[in-house]
Amino acid sequence: MIICCGEALIDMVRAEIPGRGEGFLPLPGGSPFNTAIAIGRLGAPVSFLGRFSTDFFGEVLMKRLKASRVSPDLMIRSAQNSTLAFVKLEKNKEPRYVFYTEGAADRSLTVEDLPKKLPSETHCIVFGSIAMTMEPVSTAIETLVLRENALQGQGKEAPIISFDPNIRPFMIADKKAYVKRLEKWIAASTIAKISAEDFKFIYPELDLEKALQKILAMGPRLAITTLGPKGAIALLRRNDGTITRVSAPVVDLPVADTIGAGDTFHGAFLAWLERKGKMSRPALAALTEAELYNALFFANKAASIVCSRQGAEPPTLREVESLKPGNAKAEEKKPAAPAKAASKAPAKAEPKVQAAPAGKKAPASAKPVPAKPAASKATAEKKPPVPAKKK
């Protein structure tokens, strides 16, 4: 089971109201909330740990979670109001937010609210986003993450810790203090999923490759960065210290907006690991290049679908599996012989990828946007092996 921790709120999305002009449409949202919805719809067991208001917005949030098969067992109800996030889409279809969180239920989770012990079937804890910029919820989640991660040093099997900062710069009063604390969270994580935009905020002086290497050096087993229409890159640190670098493309679908794209990617990647029996620290370290590619491509397909819709509306497993790209090179790779170990130094060149244009309605069969990795003498990206042809 995967446990998502953090905010659950109402996105007030700008919309045209017939006869009234501009208004706002209330839609359930919040980064870990969207991630939990994505995981549940993709068929992996998931629970949400957090506080929910008993107001009518809280009821909407609870109803949506239950409809997406997210367990309510770790949810706490409170008379405090629900958080509201007003969303405006910019010309590039990127969302801009204004949050109303003072005294809200989701930000009021305390250390005392935490379960003394997580369910025995817990394989992964997901955290991040604006909950980590507010008190007391950020201290509560940090306490949980550090407590569970410490199990590994006690001779017990600790769950995978997956972190997505999903940074909102306007929520951060002291950048230096935030980055220092963020690095503490990264060091306690097994998976760090950080977007290119987040990297620009925390390490503006570093290029993408150096930023990824810096993250991996802090302790995570896997560092992933999402590049919007350019797909995703992952660096996996093996037990022998070598690093495997894999990239995967998105699928070319019309873009309605990008709300929930990163959350859906994160949830889909974790759902793939859970459903394939790879959600453990030893299994993650032993992923083949083909498996890592398949997980990334599965997550990219899910994110491509959510971008083709208005609002954060993660797809079902059937929708993702039925989205067949036209180019066989971008399809899921079948297991083959173990790949050779990659060099310790990841490639320094960022993959050049064609952007996915917006256009007509999403076709049943979509064309992938290929990612062409660059190589250097230090290391070249490994392509997942292809099964031998039958004689």
pLDDT band at 158 (very low <50, low <70, confident <90, very high): very high
CA distance 25 to 296: 32
Q: Where are the domains of the chain?
A: 2-334+354-372
- Is the predicted pLDDT of residue 361 greater than 60, yes or no? no
pTM, full prediction = 0.83
Residue recorded with tokens 């079902």 = 316
Stated as kind and residue range, the H or E segment containing 65 is helix 56-67
The 10s digit of each residue's pLDDT in 50-68 is 999 999 999 999 999 999 9
CA distance 128 to 265: 14
DSSP class of residue 372 equals: E
In CATH, 2-334+354-372 is 2.30.180.10 = no
**Sheet with 95-100, side-by-side order of all strands:** 21-29, 9-17, 83-89, 95-100
Q: Residue 150's pLDDT is what?
A: 96
The strand pairing partners of 248, in sequence order, are 232
- Is the predicted pLDDT of residue 373 greater than 50, yes or no? no
Q: Is 140 exposed, middle or buried (0-12, 13-18, 19+ CB in 10 A)?
A: buried
The 10s digit of each residue's pLDDT in 274-289 is 999 999 999 999 999 9
CA distance 174 to 381: 38
More confident: 366 or 77: 77
Residues 6+ apart with CB under 8 A from 213: 235, 346
The strand pairing partners of 163, in sequence order, are 127, 192
- Is the predicted pLDDT of residue 359 greater than 80, yes or no? no
pLDDT band at 95 (very low <50, low <70, confident <90, very high): confident
Q: How many CA atoms lie within 13 A of 263 on its CB side?
A: 31
- Is the predicted pLDDT of residue 333 greater than 90, yes or no? no
Q: Residue 349's pLDDT is what?
A: 42
Residue recorded with tokens 């907006």 = 257
Q: Residue 334's pLDDT is what?
A: 63
- Is the predicted pLDDT of residue 292 greater than 90, yes or no? yes
Q: Residue 332's pLDDT is what?
A: 67
CA distance 288 to 294: 10
CA angle 98, 104, 105 (to 5 degrees): 130
Across 6-10, 80-84, 139-143, 256-260, least confident range? 256-260
Q: How many CB atoms lie within 10 A of CB 245?
A: 24
| Spatial contact of 255 and 131, defined as CB atoms under 8 Å apart | no
